[in-house]
Amino acid sequence: MTMTRKQAAQRLLDTITSRKRMFSRSIFAIIQAIIISVLIAYFTSWHFGLAALLLMGLLIQFAFDRMNNSIKASQITAIKSLRWKEESLEKEDLEETLNSIINKG
């Protein structure tokens, strides 16, 4: 499926914002896992609390890897559609360039 330059720029801009939000979302998920595990340990046994923490940790890690892979694939697709090189992502005015492509089209 081919994308227009405007669609590719929007997709690349979305991947940049998603990557920024991913850190805060993972911290939030870890805090929730710890709180729930402590509650399980308090109401039952520390064994179940530890098991819940390990299980939720694995699920969080799996979700984090899937999100990371999805963002990376989307970023690669957008770069190819824009016919850019990966080194162009390191420019300081990247978001301004993408916004100008979006607003122009």
pLDDT digits (tens, 9 = 90+) for 46-65: 999 999 999 999 999 999 99
- Whether 16 maps to a domain, the answer reads yes
Contact 89, 79 (CB under 8 A): yes
Q: Is residue 36 in a domain?
A: yes
User: CB–CB of 26/65 below 8 Å?
Assistant: no
Mapping DSSP onto H, E and C, the string for 27-56 reads HHHHHHHHHHHHHHHHHCCHHHHHHHHHHH
The whole model's pTM is what? 0.81
Calpha distance 32→49 (Å, rounded): 13
Domain count, the chain: 1
- pLDDT single digits (tens) 21-53: 999 999 999 999 999 999 999 999 999 999 999
Asked if residue 50 is part of any domain, the answer here is: yes
Q: Which residue in the block uniquely carries the two structure tokens 């064994």? A: 47
Residue 95 belongs to a domain:
no
Full domain range(s) for residue 44:
5-79
Query: Is 58 a domain residue?
Result: yes
- Please give the structure tokens belonging to residue 39: 């509650």
68 domain residue, yes or no? yes
In a domain, 9, yes or no: yes
85 within a domain of the structure (yes/no): no
Alpha carbon 72 to chain centroid distance?
A: 9
